[in-house]
Structure 1
Amino acid sequence: MTATTPQVDIAELRTLFLFESLGDPELQWVAERAEVRVFDGDVVVFAEGEPADALYMLLDGGLLLTKHADGEDVVINDTTFRGAYSGAVRAYATGHPEEYQTTLRTTRPSRFLWLSAADFATLVTQQCPMAVHLLDGLYEGVRATESAMRQREHLVQLGHLSANLAHELNNPAAAAVRATEQLRGRLSGIRHKLGLLAGSGLSPELVGRLVKAQEIAVERASKPRPDLTALEESDLEESIAERLDEVGVDNAYDLAPVFATAGMDAQWVDDVVEQVDSGLEWSAAFGWLRYTLETETLMDEIEEAATRISSLVGAVKQYSHMDQAQHQDLDVKPGIESTLVMLARKLNGIQVHREYAADLPTVPGYPAELNQVWTNLIDNAADAMAGGGLLTLRTRADADAVFVEVGDDGPGVPESVRTSLFDAFVTTKPAGEGSGLGLETARRIVERRHGGSLSYTTGPEGTTFCVRLPRSRTRG
């Protein structure tokens, strides 16, 4: 501060819009308590976080009002308007902030009317007591409404993700249960066929040759087989069945599809007969081999189901970032992929096209919060396409930032909401289907928590949201 001038006069107070409706006694009351403070250009009048002890009103000059958010100063107001005010503006309210919420800096030599927070609170309370109560109620009501809506948004999103995850987990779990039940039946069949073979008086040497034939069949079944047309598959089954029938195998046409599916052929039948070289009960022998191959297939199904469940659990851990540091240098791709897993059910019928840049650099950030961003953007894209379309996910980078683009081929954002799309409670969804906080939350996380930006382009061919994340920044 450069200087404090003598007491302000009533005539000047009356020119300020905040006081223009006051009578002379009230203006005199203010004049006796206010000061005029003069500042040079480009100096801090008050700083964010300092005790909020006064209201400042611009008499002449210019002011710049900023708020520090995650490593950068966000401009709130830059004006030369006479009467613009800031500081302890809620000193009259119940539970008002005890610290300045912003920083006020002059942009040129300036004069300010200074009124202590206590005197300002007294003036407002005396002049408009009912308005104070109304404003208090309105402020608390808006805060409570927004808090409740945000909580509801999070609960709804959690419910959708839980339903998607339950559906994704149910499929492999059910497959594992079915395969286990069938496996129990195949093991019973193996025991039965072994009993029949044992009853024919197998020698240790013959058992060894039979086991060798079993190992060869299992190894052959584990190898990839060429894709066959329906006609080729039918011919293969026919040739196997005929050869089994020739060696005296009962139910040859029931066994043939199993052997064909496992990659066997008629020559394999001859190889088994030649290798074992015995007059044993071939129906029991090939029945035992059939159950062996079916058992291997079922165990593969159980392994695949268990692997799928394990992958889903891993995706959940990746999505929530359990047991990981809150802030870290992160690769955005795993978070996007885990989000796709969590939203897999909703994306049913939608084609996902990935264009991920190779060697994408990491960015400093909060991975769990960025996953909320991917969730909101992908979820909105799915809604825009109404269950069918092309979802495009693209990543790229330049020297300063990493970019993530989420695009859909839906009808585009309506003209009526384009300018306010990121505002709280603005939604393009039907009444009751959206809170209007998804994009607002996404932008808040990107801009305030990561110092980036969220923008979009739209038209009849679709909409693309672009997230820009700086490659280096001060951690907030």
Structure 2
Amino acid sequence: MSEPVILSVCGDPRLQAQFAEELAPLLARFRWQPVASLAAAHACLGQASETAPVALLLCEQQLADGEGIALLGSAMAAQSGCQRVLWGRQQASDKLIEAVNRGPLDHVLLHPWPAGALLEVAQQRLTEYVVRQVDEPLGFAPLLDGQRLLRAQLERQMAAYRQGFMDYTHYTDEALSAAVIRALYQFFEGNDETRACRRYSPNHLLTREGERNDFLWFIAQGEVVLKKRDADGQEWEVVRYRQGALVGGMSFVTGEPAFTTGVTLTAAEVIKLDKALFAKVMQAKSDLLPLFTHLLLRHFNRRLQNSIQTKMALQKTLASLEQAQAQLVEREKLAVLGQLVAGVAHELNNPVAAILRGADTLQAQLPDLLMDPLVEPWRSLAAGILQQAMQVTPLSTALVRERAAQAERYTGERNQARQLVQMQLDDPGLWQRLFAPLSSATRQAQLARLDDYYQMGNFLHNIDVCARRIADLVKGLKQYARQDNAVPQRVDLLEGLEDTLIIFENRLKQLTLERSYDEARPKVLCYPIALQQVWTNLIANALDAVAALGRAGRIQLRSQVYEEAGEPWIRIEVEDNGHGIAPELQARIFELNFTTKREGNFGLGIGLHVCQQIIAQHRGRIEVSSEPGVFTCLRVSLPVTPSELLSPAR
């Protein structure tokens, strides 16, 4: 688009020159077009094109060839979105009021007006025009209302992404898979230098359990089987995938070793992507991102649903597991992964993998236990071991070692003593009554059988713990996603900070998190969800800064309540020991479109700018202190009861 036009209709050349001088700051992005009559104005409106539209019409009410109000309706019809400002002289204000009642306009000015009034009105009206008519409004931010243009840009981008993302929710699994595969084939048609589109014969190995997997396979034709080895090394078929399925998705996304072995059962046509090629495809075809996101989430969702169905079938087999069944059925609600964003799949990977491992192990062990039932008193003892393992956290290694040393004194055998401690059967009286009379071989066999019950209960306990962890993560995401109320609330900011930490639980495990909170925790008058956006940005930045440090990375969270100008304030600090920020860059980190993110980390330069706006809305301040290579600390200071709280941005 060429420079939009400011069309000024005025019969006095001296006033035209004065108007041009007052609006000079805007002429860096807008073209000034003065005319002296209604006829000339109509001609300009008729000649304006899509590349040089009339953005603002500044029209005098009384002209030599008619009334300016007559021009405003024509401008509205000829130029979409054109902002119409009518002005007149003070002594003829009654005519101006009459004009206001007669026609469509956006603003009225009385001449002479105070210094700067014309520029202020023009900035307001042109901001409205740019928000509605310009695809990339941020280029006008230095001249107009930058904050509103930023909000408009963000809202437009989010609306476009949401629309693109949600367009596929009504697709069936088959239709969604077909759309992805069709788009990939179109991308590689005539340009498949990497041989991404391949044909495999039966028994071709795709992934190997426990080994690194750098590829993602889309099955276009054929059938693939996934197999899993149990603790005895026996390989079991887990699932079969056909046309439209993904293979290697979990390990491809997380970077963890492949959980299963994938082998073609029939001749198969596949599309094979490594991470570099996958990124290239997504960059070249942005419409593929929401398609792939939905497909990947549905793939993970189906695997989770299948694992839950497997667990439920096992629970129905054993009547003694009714309580565990009820708990796991409640967790079924967490299977709706399609409502979450793409990053949640990575966060859920570890607990989901633990549940799958537990379900596979139970499936492998139950047939043996049911085929060889124990007799009393061993049956009652086994039931007690199973119930205890389901409800009690396993003992620490140090405690097991200490108690095993004591048990070895009367068992005379170290491994048996350790088994007794793990099952919490290391009671000398129990040993003498049940185990001592047995031969060594029989005793070892009985301990092995009881250990099977212990392991089964332990796996069920782990399944329950992992399911609870998933529930906590979803709760945190729901807190983050909900909208602020229009009325400010008094809340404990540290509760919101802790809710935010749940979202980053998986990444926080890789480093040290230290908390140092003031005992005083006043309820702060604020918009809590807006501030939660601040905590999310600050913690995400800190995690990116220490990502390369691994276990040596450290994030510290601190709070302090203090007085400022006789009023209570609270300060919250987020500090990391990452690469730091150079002194010459620290003053710029809150600028729009400025980022210090290094190569490999995604950064738009918007997050901290938005944080600064939110903190200013709460009459607080955000500051940074940093030493390159040592630390970075972001410090948010807020009044507990602000004198004036601005309405949240919409």
TM-score scaled by length of structure 1:
0.60
- How far off is 1:354 after superposition? 0.9
The amino acid that maps onto 2:479 is Q
The amino acid that maps onto 1:293 is Y
SS of aligned partner of 2:372: helix
- Distance in 1, matches of 2:155 and 2:400, equals 55
- How far off is 1:234 after superposition? 7.9
The answer to whether structure 1 residue 456 and structure 2 residue 624 are counterparts is yes
Q: Which residue of 2 aligns with 1:428?
A: 596
Q: Which residue of 2 aligns with 1:437?
A: 606
The answer to whether structure 1 residue 412 and structure 2 residue 573 are counterparts is no
- How far off is 1:228 after superposition? 3.1
- Distance in 2, matches of 1:175 and 1:151, equals 40
Where does 1:245-394 land on structure 2 (aligned, <5 Å)? 258-265=419-426, 267=428, 270-273=431-434, 285-321=446-482, 327-388=488-549, 389-394=553-558
- How far off is 1:147 after superposition? 4.5
| Structure 2 contact 400–422 (Cα < 8 Å) conserved | no
Q: Which residue of 2 aligns with 1:193?
A: 372
SS of aligned partner of 2:533: helix
Identity among equivalent pairs (%): 24
Q: 1:295 to 1:324 in 2, by over 3 A?
A: farther
Tell me how large the CA RMSD over aligned residues is: 5.1
Q: Which residue of 1 aligns with 2:335?
A: none
Where does 1:151-300 land on structure 2 (aligned, <5 Å)? 162=341, 164-194=343-373, 197=375, 207=376, 209-214=377-382, 222=392, 225=395, 227-228=397-398, 258-265=419-426, 267=428, 270-273=431-434, 285-300=446-461
| Structure 1 contact 55–85 (Cα < 8 Å) conserved | no
SS of aligned partner of 2:557: strand
- Distance in 1, matches of 2:454 and 2:23, equals 92
- Distance in 2, matches of 1:138 and 1:211, equals 73
Q: Which residue of 2 aligns with 1:107?
A: none
- How far off is 1:305 after superposition? 1.3
SS of aligned partner of 1:382: helix
Q: How many residues are paired up?
A: 370
- Distance in 1, matches of 2:373 and 2:573, equals 61
Higher radius of gyration, 1 or 2? 1
- How far off is 1:458 after superposition? 2.9
Q: 1:355 to 1:467 in 2, by over 3 A?
A: same
Q: 1:228 to 1:465 in 2, by over 3 A?
A: closer
Deviations 1:128-181 (A, max 9, x none): xxxxxxx9899685478874467658979x99x945532232211221121122
Deviations 1:338-393 (A, max 9, x none): 22221234445332111112241112222222121111111222233343332111
Most deviating of 394-403 and 172-181: 394-403
- Distance in 1, matches of 2:112 and 2:583, equals 39
Q: 1:91 to 1:294 in 2, by over 3 A?
A: closer
TM-score scaled by length of structure 2:
0.46
Structure 2: gaps spanning 5 or more residues = 1-11, 25-31, 37-58, 64-86, 92-105, 142-148, 163-289, 294-339
- Distance in 2, matches of 1:430 and 1:285, equals 59
Give the structure, 1 or 2, with the largest relative contact order (CA under 8 Å, sep 6 or more).
Answer: 1
Corresponding residue to 2:637 among 460, 468, 471: 468
- How far off is 1:402 after superposition? 2.4
- Distance in 2, matches of 1:242 and 1:447, equals 72
The amino acid that maps onto 1:193 is D
| Structure 1 contact 391–408 (Cα < 8 Å) conserved | yes
- How far off is 1:262 after superposition? 2.6
| Structure 2 contact 623–635 (Cα < 8 Å) conserved | yes
| Structure 2 contact 615–621 (Cα < 8 Å) conserved | yes
Q: Which residue of 1 aligns with 2:561?
A: 397
| Structure 2 contact 571–635 (Cα < 8 Å) conserved | yes
SS of aligned partner of 1:377: helix
